[in-house]
Structure 1
Amino acid sequence: MDELRQITEHLLHFSPDALIVVDDSALIRFANETVMTLFGYAPDALIGRPVDTLIPERLRLHHGYHTADYLREPVNREIGARITELFARRADGTEFAAGIRLAPFRIEGKLFVAAAIRDSTERQRVNDELVAARKDADRANRAKSRFLATASHDLRQPLQAIRLLNAVMLKMVPQPEIRELLTQQGQGIESMTRLLNALLDISRLESGAIEPVSVEVSVGDVFEELQNEFGSLARMRDLDLQVGEAGVVLSTDRTLFYQLLQNLLANAVKYTDRGSVRLKCLDEPDGVTMSIEDSGIGIPDDKLERIFDEYYQGDAPGAKRPGVGLGLAIVKEVARLLGFSVKILSKVGVGTQVMLRIPSQYRVAATAKVGNVAAGARITSRHKTRLILVEDNDGVRVATELFLKLEGHETLSAPTLADAEVLLEHLQPGDLVIADYHLDDKSTGLDMLMRLRERRGYDVPGIVLSGDLPTVLRSVRAPIAACRFLSKPVDIRALVEAIDELSAASGN
């Protein structure tokens, strides 16, 4: 017992923390040896002195209020440890950030409070550095988001002009050998476009610049769009694309959800040389599963863990595929944002199955929607429509106008909103407006179209082009009649089909 008592006394007097005991009058009744190291006071010099002796003068009034409150309801508590705002005063008048733990106890009914005090200056410094680093990171993310918004527009503009001029030259040049060169050039442009889109997508996701906006999404409608988008590509590769029926409605971000399935389906088609690609929707009690199955080359077991890494491509030797290995990295980030999970099963030479698991809380209701448009269904009508093009980039405007005229459309163009308003004064029934979304700091091409509709009293058909289409679509809260949104660099076939569709709907 004597040894235990001696150990206890040594721990009390030589604790790493300064220990003091204060009575219910806020007078110091005990101080250990560590007080000398931390405060510069001999322990005996503090006995009987008010605890305010150890508090900076500027804080004593507030400390008195807090002490009175604490003594009315004393409990074990810790103060000044996490985000230190508590300071103590040394004998020489200097201050330090303090972390304090309080423990009340009673002797013969009289209240005492034990306080363990340590210097938290280093903790405060680290905390300040973390706060500063967080602010720097937030500023960097905001700057990155601004850069990506600018890059999405500015980088796509010259690519858009090159793409259109390539299409124009293919229409104008009859020589087979030159057409072959132009075709190869077009393939290079498509590769550049895919790379740019993938790089900007993954950068936006990693920077946190994308905030999901949940709406009700008909999976059947999404499946139809995917079937239309990939139908012709599947036919070109002699693949059997099968898109199943889906009567499920989800609450999710439609743009991100479409992008997720789009990347998975694109990957399946890219890595399948023969056979089939199947997209199915399974509605189960505990959730919804989207399944993408292919009869492609498959993925070796030792590569399955890496396929979601950025810039990683799993492929057979000597069978390099187009792309840079960002498709599944984008899938992983988008699925995480939406609260979904992705699982991949694969066997080399047999094929791959990707299962997108959607928890039941994202399911809204079942619909009676059945049937999908046949794979690769296309609008074949060719309405020669008068077009009004509003594009502030000179190169893109000239290339677009030339292409549209070669398609047989009478085309008028304007570089600014002011110039566009002059043309729109002479708008005729059946005319169609094509506008860049980003026109100036005050108005967008969509704003211009909606104001025009208000003046004219009917839904003037319009096509809006944007280099940052996902962001634009998330800002559009409801479907807009007789309006199509296309991404820059615009797909030539998609532009022609949108013009034909809107022209046919307007009765032109």
Structure 2
Amino acid sequence: MTIKPQEEIISPKTSRYLNRIIHDIRQPLSSLSLYGQLLENKLQLSPHYQLAKNIKLASEDIDRWLSALLDLSRLDSGTMTVNVSDFSLVSTLSPLIKKNQFIAKQSGMKISVHLPEMQVTSDQRLLTEIVDTLLNNALLHSSSKKTAKVLLSVRRYQGKALLQVWNQGAKIPDQLIGSLFDEIALADNPLHNKSKGIGLGLPIAQRKAQLCNTNIKVTTDNNGSCFSITLNLARNIIIPTNLNNLANTPANFNILLIDDDQGILSALSMLLENWGYKVDCANTAEAGLRQFNLKSYHLVITDYRFSTQQTGLDVIKAIKNINAIPAILLTGEADPNKLKEVQDLAKKINYKILHKPVKPASLRFLLTQLLK
């Protein structure tokens, strides 16, 4: 499929405005997502269970829309940079695959993986985001079949690595094939299923793929659809890895939670305690550091922005100077420059980043990885 150059959709002025407003919206949305998860857990055996589940699904839809708008803003403002390197597909995609396997399992679906060890040359971050979009899309469009399977497959093809995501969803109508990767056409198309989102996921993934000098291609029939991208191969290392099984770590740890948004603090602490963790809370950076000095903790979760001059980065740096425990930084930040600062520092002092609204499944999976 030939992809035409993308026109600018969001002006620089609109982009700056979107960044500010998306950050503010993500705060209450994060609380809504966490409370929705709690409500779903509490009502599993209740006739109101489906109502609680629908609330959670609605909040997840809003999150996808905001994330898509933020990515579109960065693409149109030219602030999405490309960093090409050689890396292992297995080590890069393993956390992402396991996270999506966890999400799929909760819905009664399954993600199978065929991923032999090989190294490719691309942008590691962008490729991860592209594959995440393709897996999310596959799960979303297979969700009508509760026992549906999704397959992520990588193999050598014509001197390159061919990465494919197969789903068992309905056949894509012929009249939509040509506009699958066009933001404006999908938004205007009356045949587009709005219950599956606003249609920005695949177009944005395509634009990221183009930044990596490749394209997403699609084939579809009555058995489902396949989305493919080709990647340049680097040197090969053959180390067999099985990614089909997801380990589950028991939750018996002390966690320090720091956030100045009372809604998020309350919802997140309730969720963590519901999973079996012991949680202490603080609503300022200063109070969090004082609390940390009073007790032994296995992990700290802190917000990025506080009403004072201190940030979550200051908290993590101070704590790691005392004890190198795992740390998670929560952020609803949309400013590309601030996000780059957060990501660069994470590589230096070793902490994980979760973007608001916090996805309970992503948080739970991350905790199992950090608290082994």
Structure 2-normalised TM-score?
A: 0.81
AA in 2 matched with 1:467: G
Aligned to 2:23: 153
Aligned to 1:357: 230
AA in 1 matched with 2:248: I
Aligned to 1:287: 160
1:181 partnered with 2:55 = no
Q: Does the 8 Å contact 1:248/1:367 carry over to 2?
A: yes
Cα deviation for residue 249 of structure 1 reads 2.4
Cα pair distance change 1:479/1:227, threshold 3 Å: farther
1:299 partnered with 2:175 = no
Cα pair distance change 1:340/1:477, threshold 3 Å: farther
**SS of equivalent to 2:235:** strand
Choose from 324, 328, 331 the match for 2:205.
331
Cα pair distance change 1:157/1:258, threshold 3 Å: same
Moved more, 151-160 or 463-472: 463-472
Aligned to 1:250: 120
Cα deviation for residue 306 of structure 1 reads 0.8
Counterparts of 1:487-506 in structure 2, within 5 Å, are: 487-504=355-372
1:467 partnered with 2:332 = yes
AA in 2 matched with 1:438: R
Q: Does the 8 Å contact 1:307/1:313 carry over to 2?
A: no
Cα deviation for residue 158 of structure 1 reads 0.4
Gaps of 5+ in 1: 1-136
Give the length in aligned residue pairs: 356
Cα pair distance change 1:260/1:330, threshold 3 Å: same
**Cα deviation 1:214-266 (Å, max 9, x = unaligned):** 44432112332343123244446655532112322234332221111111222
AA in 1 matched with 2:331: S
Choose from 392, 413, 424 the match for 2:281.
413
1:478 partnered with 2:352 = no
**Cα deviation 1:369-404 (Å, max 9, x = unaligned):** 3213224x1424121x22211112232223223333
Aligned to 2:93: 223
**SS of equivalent to 1:369:** coil
Q: Does the 8 Å contact 2:19/2:70 carry over to 1?
A: no
Cα pair distance change 1:229/1:461, threshold 3 Å: closer
Choose from 246, 251, 276 the match for 1:382.
251
Q: Does the 8 Å contact 1:297/1:316 carry over to 2?
A: no
CA distance in 1, matches of 2:105, 2:316: 37
Moved more, 210-219 or 144-153: 144-153
Q: Does the 8 Å contact 2:115/2:155 carry over to 1?
A: no
Q: Does the 8 Å contact 1:449/1:460 carry over to 2?
A: no
CA distance in 2, matches of 1:417, 1:411: 16
Choose from 236, 257, 268 the match for 1:400.
268
**SS of equivalent to 1:155:** helix
**SS of equivalent to 2:90:** helix
**Cα deviation 1:126-179 (Å, max 9, x = unaligned):** xxxxxxxxxxx9x952x4454344334321110011122233444566982344
1:450 partnered with 2:312 = no
AA in 2 matched with 1:337: L
Aligned to 2:4: none
Task: Kindly indicate whether structure 1 or structure 2 has the higher relative contact order, using CA contacts under 8 Å at least 6 residues apart.
Answer: 2
Q: Does the 8 Å contact 1:313/1:324 carry over to 2?
A: yes
Aligned to 1:277: 150
**SS of equivalent to 2:150:** strand
CA distance in 2, matches of 1:345, 1:288: 18
CA distance in 1, matches of 2:38, 2:73: 32
**SS of equivalent to 1:367:** coil
**SS of equivalent to 1:176:** coil
Q: Does the 8 Å contact 2:116/2:238 carry over to 1?
A: no
CA distance in 2, matches of 1:342, 1:501: 31
CA distance in 1, matches of 2:307, 2:235: 41
Identity percentage of aligned residues: 24
Moved over 6 A (4+): 313-320
Cα deviation for residue 449 of structure 1 reads 1.3
Cα deviation for residue 314 of structure 1 reads 12
AA in 2 matched with 1:354: F
CA distance in 2, matches of 1:339, 1:164: 38
CA distance in 1, matches of 2:104, 2:188: 21
Cα deviation for residue 320 of structure 1 reads 6.6
CA distance in 1, matches of 2:110, 2:365: 23
Bigger radius of gyration: 1
AA in 1 matched with 2:281: S
Cα deviation for residue 480 of structure 1 reads 5.4
Aligned to 1:114: none
Cα pair distance change 1:233/1:173, threshold 3 Å: closer
Aligned to 1:434: 301
**Cα deviation 1:308-342 (Å, max 9, x = unaligned):** 11162899989775212111111111112222222
CA distance in 1, matches of 2:283, 2:358: 18
Aligned to 1:133: none
Aligned to 2:196: 322
Aligned to 1:425: 293
AA in 1 matched with 2:366: A
